Amino acid sequence: MVIEGILEENRELYRGQYDEVIGRLLHIPKGSLRTREVNHAKYWYLRRHVPGKGYEDVYVGPAGDRAAEAFVSFVQERKKRLEERDAIKRSLKALGVTKVDLQEKGYHRMFASLLDAFGSVGLWEEGLMLIGSWCFNVYVQVFGVEFYPLRTMDFDFGLRIPYRGGKADVDKLLRDLGFTAKVDPGHGKIDYVLPGVGMVEVFIDRDQADKEQVERLKRDLCLRPAAVSYLRILTDHPVTTKVHGVHKAITLPSMPAFFVHRLVTARFGEYRDPAFHAGKIRRDYKQAALVAKKIEADVDLKKELEAIIAGLPNGLYKKIREASEGAVEFVKSPDLTEENVIQIQLMALAKGNL
């Protein structure tokens, strides 16, 4: 009995290490790194396989750029993590863990666990939606938006205010998935972190987040979200879709709403000071441009975009114009290109929109 207890402790230890390594691997982009020289300058690319299309080279950034080199190091980490994974698997097998127990959680399965958990307590029907770069990734996977490397390990969600749904213990739900609560007293919020996987953040619209609404979320959902500006642009325009491996349909903002929100936040959102956050601003514009390209090709999406922009208050109306015109300041070819800026302005400044 004592020996079996020791073996079980070892199995749990290695299982924890195994899950952490697999979680890390899920976020390391697959592909091989390539460089190109243009006008005596070197640029990094990630070569990846696209089913049905063959191989494509996705631009990462100029050699020597801090963000680009960090991404390169991240991709290069895959080999080391794979070696760690194989070593842990051998140790687990020696302790009697079966091959079935070691089946890896693919991206969809890991992602699905979180989405299914929210679906199990009815939050998708009550105003929760997936936002941010993981939302963009769903656009890529489900709606065919052009691929752009995912450079964040955070899962962002927006929650419509006022919340009219039933009670649910979101804190327990996330802890049961392995996340640990991280209190941020400076912003009055709690984020949830899972080492090697990422962080879950829930946001509400600042203009709607009065004291009564915030207290209700604490009481009914055991949740302390962060209040941010302009979130209502997203939460007022929900769409639902099925994601492979998730039992229920999830909610996310429509692509026209995402486009408008990306433009506004690129220029006027939190943590978007050009002196310190040029990379984030450029990413926002890039995602806006790729979504705009998809909107341009769809008559219904173009009509929805026109309706959203026409319904904006005068202040936001002006910010859309300023953000669209200001995109050119962040051109850094071939990441954010002049063609991307033209695409943004074509959709945002076209006659009938502004």
User: Do the beta carbons of residue 207 and residue 200 sit within 8 Å?
Assistant: no
> Which parts of 215-346 are beta strand (E)?
226-228, 238-241, 250-253
User: Do the beta carbons of residue 176 and residue 185 sit within 8 Å?
Assistant: no
Question: Is residue 98 classed exposed, middle or buried when 0-12, 13-18 and 19+ CB atoms within 10 A define those classes?
Answer: exposed
- What is the pLDDT, as a whole number, of residue 106? 45
Q: Which of 146, 105, 151, 114 is nearest to 132 (CA)?
A: 151
- What is the pLDDT, as a whole number, of residue 19? 66
- What is the pLDDT, as a whole number, of residue 295? 96
Q: Please report, in tens digits, the pLDDT of each residue of the chain (354 residues total).
A: 445 555 566 667 777 677 667 666 766 778 889 999 988 899 999 888 766 677 888 888 899 988 788 888 888 888 888 888 888 888 888 877 765 344 454 445 567 789 999 999 999 999 999 999 889 988 988 898 887 775 566 899 999 999 988 899 999 999 998 888 888 877 778 888 876 677 899 999 999 888 898 899 999 999 999 999 999 999 999 999 998 778 889 999 999 999 999 999 998 987 777 766 788 888 899 999 999 999 999 999 999 999 999 999 888 989 999 999 999 998 886 678 899 999 999 998 754 555
Q: H or E element: which one contains 41? A: strand 41-50
Name the one residue in this structure whose structure tokens are 């009938």.
Answer: 352
Beta strands 189-194 and 198-205: pairing type?
antiparallel
- What is the pLDDT, as a whole number, of residue 351? 46
- What is the pLDDT, as a whole number, of residue 150? 59
Q: Which of 289, 271, 274 is nearest to 330 (CA)?
A: 274
- What is the pLDDT, as a whole number, of residue 299? 94
Residue environment code for 217-254, b if the CB has 16+ CB neighbours within 10 A, otherwise e:
beebbbbbbbbbebbbbbbebbbeeebeebebebbbbb
- What is the pLDDT, as a whole number, of residue 247? 83
Q: Which of 138, 159, 291 is nearest to 234 (CA)?
A: 159
The secondary structure of residue 101, as a DSSP letter, is G
256 prior amide bond cis, ω within 30? no
Ramachandran bin of 222, using left for φ above 0, alpha for ψ from -120 to 50, beta for the remaining angles: left
- For the chain, the domains span 2-102
